[in-house]
Amino acid sequence: MKSDRQLAKYLANLGYGSRKEVEAAIRRGRVTGEGESLRFDGEPVDPAPGMVILMNKPAGFTCSRQDQGNLVYELLPPRYLKRTPALSTVGRLDADTTGLLLFTDDGKLLHKLISPKPGTPKTYEATLARPLEGHEAELFASGALMLRGEDKPLLPATLQITGERTARLTITEGRYHQVRRMFAAAGNHVEALHRASFGPLILGDLPEGEWRLLSAEEISALA
């Protein structure tokens, strides 16, 4: 069992207020239970450090804490921004890209998932400005495609054509605006982009702009 001082520090690190504010909340009886049944104002306390959040990111939101305009962190409870260790996005989706976005406060997991080394497959659904010409799948799978301004070819990627101007692309790297630049290199332009999966994770029926906590099993599958 944690002492009141230890409990106050723990809750302050979860973003429930400053140490003094949490100590006052404890004295007033706003903190009840212990262990897995710990509650703050009657609500279950947020997960301990090591949590992972899956969000269905809407268009128009930036993966930043400081940029102007709408920020993805604004879609989470405000106290999540006060957590220690800090909560970070796992990589970035640009403002116009929608779909599966992860957040975590686990630095080791974050480093693994955003490592430049070939790793977690990510699948994107693209809507293009012009009809596909039929050569794109072979080009992307070749392992020889060079993006403008780079000196190392892309690893092979898998393209599935789903319509005249739509396709599903799976990549294992995370270079800057990679999917958009790949289609540009093939002579086309991405009008809309949606990330449908990240490794074993899929969005399922999670509504746009909503989020959920990953289970321990889902986190283990990522790690």
Q: How confident is the model at residue 223 (pLDDT cuts 50, 70, 90)?
A: confident
Looking at residue 66, what is its pLDDT? Answer: 84
Catalytic residue among 94, 105, 151, 205: 94
% of the chain at pLDDT higher than 70? 99
105 is catalytic: no
Q: Alpha-carbon distance 159 to 13, whole Å?
A: 44
- Class of the CATH-defined domain 122-198: alpha beta
Q: What is the mean pLDDT of residues 99-107?
A: 97
Summarised one tens digit per residue, pLDDT across range 157-180 is: 999 999 999 999 999 998 999 999
Looking at residue 99, what is its pLDDT? Answer: 98
pTM over 0.85: yes
Please answer whether residues 70 and 60 qualify as being in contact, where contact means their C-beta atoms are separated by less than 8 angstroms. yes
Q: What is the mean pLDDT of residues 104-112?
A: 95
Q: Alpha-carbon distance 155 to 218, whole Å?
A: 27
Q: What is the DSSP letter of 75?
A: G
State yes or no: pLDDT of 116 exceeds 90.
no
Say if domain 52-115+204-222 classifies as CATH 3.40.50.12160: no
Q: Alpha-carbon distance 128 to 188, whole Å?
A: 7
Measured between its terminal Cα atoms, the distance across the chain in Å is: 30
Looking at residue 118, what is its pLDDT? Answer: 65
